[in-house]
Amino acid sequence: MNTPAYTALTHTFTRLYRLGHLGALAGWDQAAMMPPKGNAARGAALAELQVVMHQMLADVRLPGLLQSASAEPLDALQQANLHEMRRDWTLSTCLPERLVQAQSLATSRCEHAWRSQRQNNDWTGFLGNFREVVNNAREEAQILSQAQGISPFDALMDKYEPGSRSADIDTLFDDVKTWLPDLVQQVLAKQASEPVLAPVGPFPVEQQRALGVDLMGLLGFDFEGGRLDVSAHPFCGGVPEDVRITTRYTEADFMRSMMGVVHETGHARYEQNLPADTRHLPVGRARSMGLHESQSLLFEMQLGRSAAFLQLIAPRIALHLGHQAAFEADNLARLYTRVQPGLIRVDADELTYPAHVILRYEIERDLINGLMAPEDIPAQWDQKMGQYLGLDTRGNVKDGCLQDIHWPSGSFGYFPSYTLGAMYAAQFFACIRRAHPDLDTRVATGDLSPIFDWLQQHIWQQASRRPTQDLVLQATGEKLNPQHFRSHLEQRYL
């Protein structure tokens, strides 16, 4: 193998993977374990690690190695790896140090103040810090845009969802907007007369935890290579070799925590089943945020809230939490598909969730592309919330445009990943269902292998070997087709 430049690059990126392990662990610990007084030292340690890793990527030899490697005899996997390494290098090095520092300062100030400004419904105070966050993000978008020859907003979105373009997202989302508001109204009318029994708590935390662990086992989580813990905001963290998922418990309600565990287990299985021989290389990473979300949403929405799965787990719920009428499978299915338009995205049901995403996407797209000013956000929010979900948010920025951490922390372009994930999940599940006409029966009787086998082969083991678009085409025989998502919603909710 005469590939000295490529080999040198993999050496550097393996070192970065190993150091990244420590950052991932420290991040998980910060959210799940760390007492409050550890926070300043932890922040300083993580920042120092970032500096060390950035210095490795900014090594003056890297551009030459990337150049030389592209002329070396690489196989397809190595070429894909080189592509990902070049992408990492570009994203890490193309921004001037001055801008990176300004962003770090502005977002940390804005995010810190946002925590109380949100409580106080203080849009004016927020705007004072937020203008600089937007200005920095626009400058970053301009630089990335020029480096890649795509629009400024696309350049930011590309960080999370490589290859996605707003022209395509516009088409997808404009279509959703033509049918979603009507569908929501139809479903609301239908569900108004549906009887639903509410579970009666309290549900002790230890019992909820045991139920969660039981479901994780059922869903194939490998406890020899991961853990379940508690954090204020549930997430999937850690490293592929040791995946750490979290949930939070309230004794009055087990449903949210239980389904949260199912959701995070979807993320976890993706990480746990990345190909072991390349997971230390960029080509061995999960493909994108949207693909990651497709796995959690396939577990939570396609599988987890299906009648067949709820039939399977109803006895387990009763086993852990005690018998009650509300735990009948039919009633669980009604509970877990209840639709109720609301102001808060993270509380939204499966059906109204896309409206929250589309609204945010349209605003951040215009904001970054310079077609909207920060001060116009509340009015746009009010107008779209009325149009898409029939809700009045005027004067309520607390439960409106100040509800998410994404913008105060400078993450523009992330929101579409949620709904792209839901669409991918619907398309994947439709494909699995086509291959297994008896899928519901198998799920209801505890055989989830058709789902896991398909995901293992077509998604998890593919990692980042090819662009998302190619991966989806190879896996399902077609490119992203939102019709599967619409059909799924209509079949489940109408």
Which member of 84, 140, 161, 264 is catalytic? 264
User: Least separation, in Å, of the C-beta of 40 and its own copies?
Assistant: 7
Q: In the window 205-244, what residues touch its own copies (CB under 8 A)? A: 222-227, 238-239, 241-242
Question: Alpha helices of 33-163 — where are they, by DSSP H?
Answer: 39-57, 62-69, 76-93, 97-119, 123-148, 152-160
The answer to whether 374 and 130 have CB atoms below 8 angstroms apart is yes
Question: Does 179 engage in binding with its own copies (CB under 8 A)?
Answer: no
> ω before 374 within 30° of 0 (cis)?
no
Task: Pick between residue 51 and residue 435 the one whose CB is nearest to its own copies.
Answer: 51
Q: What is the largest CA-CA distance in the chain?
A: 71
Phi and psi for 227 in degrees, rounded to 5?
Answer: -145, 160
What is d(CA 13, CA 210) in angstroms, rounded to the nearest whole number?
39
User: Least separation, in Å, of the C-beta of 97 and its own copies?
Assistant: 17
Binding test (CB under 8 A) with its own copies, winner from 8, 12, 31, 49:
49
What is d(CA 65, CA 70) in angstroms, rounded to the nearest whole number?
9
174 by Cβ neighbours in 10 Å (0-12 / 13-18 / 19+) ranks as exposed
Question: Does 277 engage in binding with its own copies (CB under 8 A)?
Answer: no
What is d(CA 214, CA 207) in angstroms, rounded to the nearest whole number?
11
What is d(CA 377, CA 132) in angstroms, rounded to the nearest whole number?
15
Given the rule CB under 8 A, which of 30-38, 131-139, 255-263, 448-456 is the region that contacts its own copies? 30-38
Q: In the window 331-350, what residues touch its own copies (CB under 8 A)? A: none
Strand partners for 226: 243
User: Least separation, in Å, of the C-beta of 212 and its own copies?
Assistant: 16
Task: Pick between residue 45 and residue 197 the one whose CB is nearest to its own copies.
Answer: 45
Given the rule CB under 8 A, which of 18-26, 296-304, 447-455, 476-484 is the region that contacts its own copies? 18-26
User: Least separation, in Å, of the C-beta of 305 and its own copies?
Assistant: 29
User: Is 264 marked active-site?
Assistant: yes
Q: Binding site for Zn(2+): what residues are annotated?
A: 263, 267, 293
Given the rule CB under 8 A, which of 19-27, 171-179, 189-197, 368-376 is the region that contacts its own copies? 19-27
Candidates 154, 130, 126; CA nearest to 140 is 154
Task: Pick between residue 41 and residue 346 the one whose CB is nearest to its own copies.
Answer: 41
User: Least separation, in Å, of the C-beta of 409 and its own copies?
Assistant: 22
Going residue by residue from 65 to 104, which x/- string records binding to its own copies, judged by CB under 8 A? ----------------------------------------
Question: Does 52 engage in binding with its own copies (CB under 8 A)?
Answer: yes
Task: Pick between residue 85 and residue 301 the one whose CB is nearest to its own copies.
Answer: 85
Question: Does 15 engage in binding with its own copies (CB under 8 A)?
Answer: yes
Task: Pick between residue 35 and residue 437 the one whose CB is nearest to its own copies.
Answer: 35
User: Least separation, in Å, of the C-beta of 244 and its own copies?
Assistant: 9
Residue 345 tokens read as 């995205």
Candidates 303, 337, 310; CA nearest to 450 is 303
Binding test (CB under 8 A) with its own copies, winner from 37, 167, 232, 494:
37
Number of residues that bind its own copies (CB under 8 A): 36
User: Least separation, in Å, of the C-beta of 45 and its own copies?
Assistant: 4
Binding test (CB under 8 A) with its own copies, winner from 31, 45, 113, 230:
45
User: Least separation, in Å, of the C-beta of 411 and its own copies?
Assistant: 24
SS3 451: helix
Task: Pick between residue 22 and residue 102 the one whose CB is nearest to its own copies.
Answer: 22
Q: Binding site: what residues are annotated?
A: 263, 267, 293
Binding test (CB under 8 A) with its own copies, winner from 12, 31, 42, 447:
42
Given the rule CB under 8 A, which of 49-57, 111-119, 328-336, 363-371 is the region that contacts its own copies? 49-57
What is d(CA 413, CA 364) in angstroms, rounded to the nearest whole number?
7
Q: Count the Cβ atoms, other than its own, within 10 Å of residue 80.
A: 21
What is d(CA 375, CA 380) in angstroms, rounded to the nearest whole number?
10
Give the side-chain half-sphere CA count within 13 A for 321. 29
The answer to whether 147 and 93 have CB atoms below 8 angstroms apart is no
Task: Pick between residue 48 and residue 453 the one whose CB is nearest to its own copies.
Answer: 48
State the Cα angle at 278 between 144 and 450, rounded to 5°. 100
Binding test (CB under 8 A) with its own copies, winner from 19, 77, 213, 218:
19
Residue 152 tokens read as 């400024």
Binding test (CB under 8 A) with its own copies, winner from 25, 77, 314, 319:
25
Task: Pick between residue 45 and residue 150 the one whose CB is nearest to its own copies.
Answer: 45
CA distances from 486 to 190, 293, 362, 425 (A): 18, 18, 20, 12
71 by Cβ neighbours in 10 Å (0-12 / 13-18 / 19+) ranks as exposed
Candidates 70, 76, 92; CA nearest to 20 is 92
Q: In the window 242-261, what residues touch its own copies (CB under 8 A)? A: 242
Residues that bind its own copies (CB under 8 A): 15, 18-19, 21-23, 25-26, 29, 33-38, 40-42, 44-49, 51-52, 222-227, 238-239, 241-242
Active site residues: 264
